[in-house]
Chains A and B, each alone.
Chain A
Amino acid sequence: MAFFFSVEPRNLRLGLATDGFNPFRTLSSKYSCWPVMLVMYNLPPWICMRRENIMLTLLIPGPKQPGNDIDVFLQPLIEDLQELWNRGTNVYDAFTNSYFNLKAILMWTINDFPAYGNLAGCTTKGRKACPLCAENTCSLWLTHSKKFSYMGHRRFLRPHHPYRTKKKWFDGNNESGGKPRILNGSQIASSLKDFRNDWGKYGKKKRKKDNDSVYMWKKRSIFFELSYWEVRIIPNFNVIFIINK
């Protein structure tokens, strides 16, 4: 059975966007509502980002934010997306007055950094905060400020760059390391294939530090249910902006 995707121009390319907001005007009530929206990139740029063309698909109620349990709420949407990828759906095209089989692919997600952690299932705070560097995240605990600082940025410079030896300008050390390897999607998927997800905010036990390589992962994201998701070069969660807390 032949599987067409890119040859058919009408097949949909989607992006998923989510973030929390307080729907009540009075800031005295703390309530977090999480809408999940789909953007259709097939459309021209002057149309695709308009309010009327961004589809609201899910409205996740509060009062607290879903956090990592957002996967529970994404189930109906992911099932529909799977159906649209595996089988497609028969749709009438009013422009050509004919039926065709419509498929859709979810290309990326659009969110801020904390929501990135919720969707991807990786930690975004603390010692191993970088989703790309993973265990190789360079972090430094500042004892007096009582927070983590991430000073390993000189690793990305070319090998004999002068900044690598400027100890006093940076953290007091020479930087001799190289760029860390970024895990690709299939490596992440295979390391998480036996991960048992634990939903719900009731009676959570503290996780043991038994397996270091998956320690920074909090769940096996529901996006891996989409068969094309792991075939990515890098974890494909787009960050639109990072909130500095």
Chain B
Amino acid sequence: MIAGDSENILCPCKDCRNLSYLHTEIVYEHIVIWGMDPTYTTWFHHGEQLTNNEKQHDGGPSEILNLYKAAYAQDADSGEQVEEMLDDGFSNFLEEAEAPQVEERLDDDMINFLEEAQKPLYPGCKKHVKLSATLVLYKHKVMNRWSDNSFNGLLSILRDMLPEGNVIPDSISSARKLVKSFDNEYEKIHACKNDCCLFRKEIEGVETCPKCGSSRWQVDKQTQKVRKGIPAKVLRYFPIIPRFKRMFGSSEMSKQFRWHFTNKSEDGNMRHPVDSLAWEMIDKKWPFFFQ
């Protein structure tokens, strides 16, 4: 990893941290003034070989790509398609597709559903399963702003063209259903239009706000008629507990959740909230106590 000019190398000092190519004499000065970066233990930028256990945390796309590949380990070729999908929200769906590997903790409906989604696109297909094919097509539709009708047309053509026994969805609505079933649901909670209260728990069925008296439903401005069924204000709550459960369902993510435990900085520099005082206070206050 040496640049064209052999006098310039990556500077491993605490300040540059292998990010800039400098003349060897300047690198020498940097190391004398600031010292070596203590986290740079295997000098892979300067010719040393990395052993299998060591990982190169260069962050960025390669890490995330590996996570998604692990979640979607069909074939090396599908890696390219996975890369395309990285930039938009479909990454969530790919991660959740890993869930089927651990079947005993899922209920029967979900198991059937996941088996269905993992079927090869057509008998003998090695590149795509039903889910991946649907996602690729749906993404293409969305990115290019195709109409629903044109998409329906394409699906029927593909159904005709692909070999017998293909499982491509037959319409946009069944494609949407397939994709949506991996979604985490969210709650729509009605709220008072003056922000007095949420219509939940004890006042779930109430029609007017107990505090200000305004209607729960929208009121038509011109006719003053109450449009029952259409709430005046809706709060969308995305429950966190099912989402955390999903995240731990991916073995890669689950491994990453332990990072903070072993990566507090040793040189006193703050690199992550784990090095902060508040974190230390929490560790000391609540390691273990009896209720």
Closest chain B residue, CB of each to CB of A92: B105
Q: Which of B172-199 touch A at CB < 8 Å? A: 187, 189, 191-192, 194-198
The complex places the Cα of A236 from the Cα of B271 at a distance, in Å, of: 20
Residues of A within 8 Å of B260, CB to CB, are 9, 13, 41-43
Interface pair B278/A12, CB less than 8 Å apart: no
Closest chain B residue, CB of each to CB of A9: B261
27 pairs of residues in contact across A and B, judged by CB atoms under 8 Å? A2-B291, A3-B286, A3-B289, A5-B286, A6-B288, A9-B257, A12-B257, A13-B279, A40-B257, A41-B279, A43-B259, A47-B63, A47-B256, A52-B91, A61-B236, A73-B195, A76-B187, A76-B239, A93-B254, A94-B248, A95-B254, A97-B102, A102-B248, A104-B244, A105-B282, A107-B273, A200-B197
Chain A residues within 8 Å of B, Cβ to Cβ = 1-7, 9-10, 12-13, 15, 38, 40-48, 50, 52, 55-61, 66-67, 69, 72-73, 75-77, 80-81, 83-84, 89, 91-97, 102, 104-105, 107-108, 199-203, 228, 231, 233, 236
Q: A10-B254, A94-B248, A102-B248 are in contact. Are A2 and B288 (CB under 8 A)?
A: yes
With beta carbons under 8 angstroms apart, the residue of B91, B197, B240, B288 that contacts A72 is B197
Residues of A within 8 Å of B248, CB to CB, are 10, 91-94, 102
The complex places the Cα of A95 from the Cα of B254 at a distance, in Å, of: 6
Residues of A within 8 Å of B287, CB to CB, are 4-7
The complex places the Cα of A35 from the Cα of B281 at a distance, in Å, of: 29
Interface membership of B81, Cβ < 8 A? no
Residues of A within 8 Å of B195, CB to CB, are 66-67, 69, 72-73, 199-201
The complex places the Cα of A201 from the Cα of B102 at a distance, in Å, of: 50
Interface membership of B225, Cβ < 8 A? no
With beta carbons under 8 angstroms apart, the residue of B92, B234, B240, B291 that contacts A77 is B240
Interface membership of B214, Cβ < 8 A? yes
Q: Which of B80-104 touch A at CB < 8 Å? A: 89, 91-92, 98, 101-102
Q: Determine how close the nearest CB of chain A comes to the CB of B273; give it in whole angstroms.
A: 5
Residues of B within 8 Å of A48, CB to CB, are 272
Cβ proximity bits B235-252 to A, threshold 8 Å, 1 near / 0 not = 111111101110011110
Interface membership of B258, Cβ < 8 A? yes
The complex places the Cα of A92 from the Cα of B254 at a distance, in Å, of: 10
Interface membership of B74, Cβ < 8 A? no
Closest chain A residue, CB of each to CB of B98: A94
Q: Determine how close the nearest CB of chain A comes to the CB of B283; give it in whole angstroms.
A: 4
Interface membership of B145, Cβ < 8 A? no
Interface membership of B112, Cβ < 8 A? no
Residues of B within 8 Å of A5, CB to CB, are 282, 286-288
Q: A56-B238, A76-B189 are in contact. Are A92 and B245 (CB under 8 A)?
A: yes
Interface pair B244/A12, CB less than 8 Å apart: yes
With beta carbons under 8 angstroms apart, the residue of B189, B211, B238 that contacts A200 is B211
Interface membership of B57, Cβ < 8 A? yes
Q: Determine how close the nearest CB of chain A comes to the CB of B77; give it in whole angstroms.
A: 24
Interface membership of B203, Cβ < 8 A? no
Interface pair B105/A6, CB less than 8 Å apart: no
Q: Determine how close the nearest CB of chain A comes to the CB of B139; give it in whole angstroms.
A: 15
Size category, B interface:
35 or more
Interface membership of B42, Cβ < 8 A? no
Interface pair B290/A2, CB less than 8 Å apart: yes
Residues of B within 8 Å of A3, CB to CB, are 286, 288-291
The complex places the Cα of A18 from the Cα of B243 at a distance, in Å, of: 19
Q: A89-B245, A92-B105 are in contact. Are A58 and B238 (CB under 8 A)?
A: yes
Interface membership of B255, Cβ < 8 A? yes
With beta carbons under 8 angstroms apart, the residue of B198, B283, B289 that contacts A75 is B198
Q: Determine how close the nearest CB of chain B comes to the CB of A89; give it in whole angstroms.
A: 5
Residues of B within 8 Å of A80, CB to CB, are 239-241
Interface pair A42/B278, CB less than 8 Å apart: no
Interface pair B191/A73, CB less than 8 Å apart: yes
Interface pair B286/A228, CB less than 8 Å apart: yes
Interface pair A9/B258, CB less than 8 Å apart: yes
The complex places the Cα of A66 from the Cα of B234 at a distance, in Å, of: 13
Interface membership of B30, Cβ < 8 A? no
Closest chain A residue, CB of each to CB of B257: A42
Interface pair B57/A199, CB less than 8 Å apart: no
Interface pair B238/A10, CB less than 8 Å apart: no
Interface pair A77/B237, CB less than 8 Å apart: yes
Interface membership of B64, Cβ < 8 A? yes
Residues of B within 8 Å of A7, CB to CB, are 287-288
Q: A47-B63, A58-B236, A102-B244 are in contact. Are A92 and B102 (CB under 8 A)?
A: yes
Q: Determine how close the nearest CB of chain B comes to the CB of A106; give it in whole angstroms.
A: 11
Interface membership of B20, Cβ < 8 A? no
Q: Determine how close the nearest CB of chain A comes to the CB of B149; give it in whole angstroms.
A: 27
Q: A5-B286, A60-B235, A92-B105 are in contact. Are A83 and B241 (CB under 8 A)?
A: yes
Interface pair A233/B281, CB less than 8 Å apart: yes
